[in-house]
Amino acid sequence: MSIFEGIWVPLVTPFRQGKLDLYGAQQLALNLSAAGVHGLVACGTTGEAATLNEHEQDKLLCGVMEAVQDRCPVAMGIGGSDTRAVTEKIERLNALRPAAFLVSAPSYVRPSQEGIRLHFEALAAVAESPLVLYNIPARTGVNIDVATVSALEQHANIVAIKESSGNLAQTMELINRTSLRVLCGDDSLLFNMLCLGGHGAISAAAHIRPDLFVHLFELVRAAQLGSARALFKQLLPMIQLLFSEPNPGPVKAALAMQGQIQDELRLPMTRMSAAGRVKLARALEKLMTVPVAGKSAQPESAVRGKSRLLGLVR
């Protein structure tokens, strides 16, 4: 299996009183790697990368890589509208040797498909780590068409795509027409994409019960679709709540309820609403009773006790 398969998690960036909480990020990375996730992404959209300066981004990447070491690969999220500036950033980050660069299409400027192709080709030419394309038109304003992806796969350094268009027809084309690893970027479509032949996911929701997301991937790979469907049905209510308000507010709220990080974001991102946290607490408590494969569920009374200690609203 390629390393660009399975369940990857785009790490939230913990803050404490406005400052980067590197220790919190390292502990979170260790918890996720111990749960069996196949890879991590530092400084992605979920990591509030747009609010981190260069020093913080470098420090976060190095800190996470140091924490997990060889337990799982760590990719670096990259974005920008100016090809020259993004190229210079990749050249600087080459020295840190991330497992890959996860790179979104240029945002705001809305280039042509030729411009998108030339942008990624320029980045791939200087990157000393593989490139994972990131197609998220809702944020960038442009779609990376299948024909463009097909042209880009000719570059040996472009190995995968995180597909977040929400378009299953396009996803099927990517899987059938290209040799790239296709990773789900829309968590609510995870089961569908895996069944269509997708190779995994870069999943923000997998911060919560990552063991279950890994097990879902394994079930589909083993063609145990009935069990996979039943498990995804249990995961879906939490997934929907985690994206009911702007990401990563709900994810950070859930992690804070578990005592893993502080519930703190940088503006313009804000904490999940009080009403949302009430629903999230109930869904989280229920999800915590789902057993890990081959293990017994945690007693409901223990979960309730933990919830009260963490101040969750029932």
* Residue 83 labeled ligand binder: no
Give the pair of three-digit tokens for residue 241. Answer: 């709540």
Contacts of 239 (CB under 8 A, 6+ apart): 187, 188, 190, 205
Backbone angles phi, psi at 104, to 5 degrees: -85, 160
Q: Which residues are the active-site residues?
A: 134, 162
90 is in an annotated binding site: no
Euclidean distance between CA atoms 295 and 135, whole angstroms: 37
Whether the Cβ atoms of residue 73 and residue 42 lie closer than 8 Å to each other:
no
Report which secondary-structure segment, H or E, holds 162: strand 158-163
- Measured CA to CA, the distance from residue 139 to residue 164 in angstroms comes to 10
Q: Under DSSP, is residue 42 helix (H, G, I), strand (E, B) or coil?
A: strand
- The string of DSSP codes covering 169-238 is HHHHHHHHH--SEEEE--GGGHHHHHHHT--EEE-SGGGSSHHHHHHHHHHHHTT-HHHHHHHHHHHHHH
Separation of alpha carbons 2 and 281, rounded Å: 36
Tokens of 5: 């398969």
Q: Are 211 and 227 in contact (CB under 8 A)?
A: no
Known binding-site residue numbers: 46, 202
Known binding-site residue numbers for pyruvate: 46, 202
